[in-house]
Amino acid sequence: MKAVLIPGDGIGPEIAKSVEALTTAMNLDIEWVKYRAGAEYAKETGDVFEPGLVEAIEQYKWALKGPTATPIGTGFRSVNVALRQKFATYANVRPIRSFKGINSRYDDINLVIIRENTEDLYKGIEYKLNENIANGVKLITREASEKICRYAFEYAKINSRHKVTAIHKANIMKYTDGLFLEAFRDVAKCYPDIEAQEVIVDNMCMQLVLRPETFDVLVAPNLYGDIVSDLCAGLVGGLGFAPSGNIGDEYRIYEAVHGSAPDIAGQNIANPSALLLAFALMLEDLGKIEAANALRMALSKVVEKQETVTPDIGGHASTTEFVDAIIKEL
């Protein structure tokens, strides 16, 4: 099969090579079709995407994306948001798991954040009333809310998880978050064997810090999901081990959610784990369960041994050496 690979900005091209190396080492029948996108490409050409990228995703349906930069305060639109809205990848799935060998405050964290991915404030409906007043529209629809809540409960059912927690602020935003919560309650009635819980977003952040082990699957509107998923990544050592899948009815785009780290770009010391774990998510959804599990297991063993890991997790290995160690484990 063919799939699109978007290396991205900064360290993106270096960690994308890790995926290509493992595809070859594991004898996977995936042919990567590479396209550029992001701030660096926009600076060179004035375009966000390389010509043919959108058409390639339309044709092949599957894509894997490295980190892309979005300059703050410019008219340049986020590549991530643009792709999610273009391909209606309505569910953002972020599994968060502990890794032995990583310095974090918690052990045995195993959460999944499922974030609505197409509306809320990320719809980008903003305007200025005058020089000193700007307004943003928080768009929430029943259709999208029911769809993401149903996805969360189905995910829990398929993966033998027992609780789905809705994150909201309906006590203040009674119409928008209230609508999301209504949709959650309606969908929950169809899954009587799965516990349904509701937690206000600020309390959710505190509870995740105090007792993260009490949560299982979290479902949230776009903005809260974005914030809480990064908070959860912090529970297991940071964004370096946070993969993400953007799932739609037709298209799937997997990605590393960390930044492009321009300060270490080109030095061959970047940690490729998040992109490799995103690749494992992709393999899993392709039905290549054994390959996905083998990749996760090999990566986990290398990290746990702490002999050949990159500087961000306490080692002195290069990106290439880290990937070679994973291949050796495989």
pLDDT digit string (tens) for the chain, length 330 residues: 999 999 999 999 999 999 999 999 999 999 999 999 988 888 888 888 899 999 999 999 999 999 998 755 555 567 888 898 889 999 999 999 999 988 888 888 999 999 999 999 988 899 999 999 999 999 999 999 999 999 999 999 999 999 999 999 999 999 999 999 999 999 999 999 999 999 999 999 999 999 999 999 999 999 999 999 999 999 998 889 999 999 999 999 999 989 999 999 999 999 999 999 999 999 999 999 999 999 999 999 999 999 999 999 999 999 999 999 999 999
Residue 36, CA atoms < 13 Å, CB-side half-sphere: 14
pTM surpassing 0.85?
yes
According to the model, what pLDDT value does residue 311 have?
A: 94
According to the model, what pLDDT value does residue 46 have?
A: 84
According to the model, what pLDDT value does residue 184 have?
A: 98
Short-list 67, 88, 120, 314, CA closest to 226: 120
**In whole angstroms, what is the distance from residue 260 CA to residue 264 CA?**
9
According to the model, what pLDDT value does residue 77 have?
A: 63
Short-list 94, 125, 126, 130, CA closest to 111: 94
According to the model, what pLDDT value does residue 76 have?
A: 59
Q: What domains lie within the chain, and their CATH numbers?
A: 1-93+243-330 (3.40.718.10), 105-235 (3.40.718.10)
According to the model, what pLDDT value does residue 23 have?
A: 97
Q: Are 326 and 280 in contact (CB under 8 A)?
A: no
**In whole angstroms, what is the distance from residue 106 CA to residue 192 CA?**
31
Bridge partners (DSSP) of residue 70 are: none
